Amino acid sequence: MKKYFIIFSIIIFSPFYLVSQTIFEPITNNRIYEFLDELANNHIIIINSTVKPFSRNYIYDKLQEAEKNNIQLSERQKDELQFYLNGFLMENPSIVNEKYDIFSKNENLSTSISTLSLIYKDTFLRVSVKPIWGISYFKTESENIRHTWGGAEFMGYIGKNWSLYASLRDNNETKVITRSGFLNQNSGAPQKYNSSGGGDYSEMRGGIIYSWKWGSFGLIKDHFIWGDNYNGSNIFSGRTPSFAHIKLSLKPAKWFEFNYIHGWLNSEVIDSNRSYNSGSSFRTVFRDKYIAANLFTFTPFKRLNVSVGNSIVYSDVSIQAAYLIPVLFYKSVDHTLNSTYQYGDAGQNSQMFMSISSRQIKNINIFTSLYIDELSLKNMFDNQKHSNFLSFKIGGSVTDFYFKNITIIAEYTRTNPMAYQHFLPATTFENNHFSLGHYLKDNAQEVYLSAIYKPIRGMSLQASWTQAKKGNIYQYGDIGIFGGLPFIKDVIWENNTLALKATYELFLNTILFVEAINSNIKGYAVDGKSEQYYLDLFTPKSFQGNQIIVNTGLAIGF
């Protein structure tokens, strides 16, 4: 019996003792994600780009996969590959590259020039500490704006399965350009404003994760993206201030991957019953708000990923055990936990989504994603009867097709009226009033075109054109929302932007950039509101109108 028990224990528990560790690479590190995307388009590696961020070990494995196919790489790609391999020293503790590492008297302690970091390594512990600093300087036709940030990040691998990381950055804007209502892709927490119109905010990310060969489980506070895209996902965009969540990732087979999160959101909806006076101060308490979401990704054919999932935003109740079960369809759960048939509007806010990405044709990535907030199957093609609260995206990229080192991107996004909204303020698809979905929110569309040329290692030259339009603002209760709402009946805000950007990566995660922007952002007098009303609502003052803007800067760390 003892022998059989040992065999059974090995079969059941051995996967959890296999070496694997997880620290996530920030989604703001566009350079490494662009490089992996390029290699995947070239059929040099295989990735699932639907879910980000990638773990650093996953990235390192993909770089090693590319190294095995070295003969297929261009000279520039070989240089890029070696550059990134040298930068991921923490993920390859057995290799010491003397060119980039200067050792002190302590043989376990080193300074890595390639990553501007201090690294400690022994047989049980690997630790890295890096600085974070940056400046982005905007010169507009009306004024100059400076965004600066600074802080540090820490990463640690402990033993064979544990990892933890933390990243802190304080931000300052001389004029506020990051706010939940602005229709741009800046990500920042609620700000402390000053008398000159500027603001300060900070962002703390991090987590502790237990990993095994085919999965990981952790408590994390970080950004994440679900849905293939090049200019903002319409499922989970990652634009909101980071929030704490339980994250489960499984890949038990080559053809299947599973992701689940349960998160704690900030509703910013005041709970008057729990708020109270304390001497001369008033203690404001917000209503609790949570989210649960899962995503099943299937790979029926090589380089074809089909993902389906669902989520629910819930509040006014404690954490529900049913929403901690990763594989459930949460809308059905909501019908029994919060019946809306006998007790009025007691239900929560549920969503469904899917994403498809195909790289089966060499050099080409074709993708689409669909977010469903409310759908009438009976009347889905009759806009007079139902608006169908959904958002869809379709796009693609072509890499090295006739012209080496060039990637062409095209993307279209349409979001119908009322998508991402909800009749209960505490269950909107938001965190800190930032939309969890597409940055344009509902009743909007966007066309995005881009061409990226990479002549040498580290350098990227990009030309892009964006046309974004926002339609009438609808609110629950104002009109009969199930009677059919016209898509962009009137344009209330429009953005036409042509941008030319050059970046150069000096070291891993250290980037110089300069960008020339010709933007024409305007509002329209609609529904009794003035042009200026919509401009001020959606656009920072300094970026309104037709003007040339120059943006230069340096970023150390992400």
Secondary structure of 160-199 in the HEC alphabet? CCEEEEEEEEEEEECCCCCCCCCCCCCCCCCCEECCCCCE
Q: H or E stretch including 455?
A: none
Q: Are strands 162-173 and 545-556 parallel, antiparallel or unpaired?
A: unpaired
In the chain, count of helices (H) and strands (E)?
A: 6, 28
Ordered by start, the domain boundaries in the chain are: 19-556
What stretches in the chain show pLDDT beneath 50?
3-18, 96-105
Give how far Cα 216 sits from Cα of 17, 22, 63, 249, 258, Å: 12, 7, 21, 5, 11
Instruction: Compute the distance between CA of residue 144 and CA of residue 146 in angstroms, rounded to an integer.
Output: 7
Say what the pTM is: 0.91
The encoded tokens of residue 133 equal 């600093």
Q: What is the pLDDT of residue 96?
A: 40
Tell me what pLDDT residue 479 has. 56
Superfamily of domain 19-556: Capsule assembly protein Wzi (2.40.160.130)
* Cα separation, 280 vs 387, whole angstroms: 49
- Whole-angstrom Cα distance, residue 323 to residue 334? 9
Q: Quote the Cα angle for 527-530-534, to 5°.
A: 90
Question: What are the tokens at 236?
Answer: 């989970």
pLDDT, residue 100, reads 39
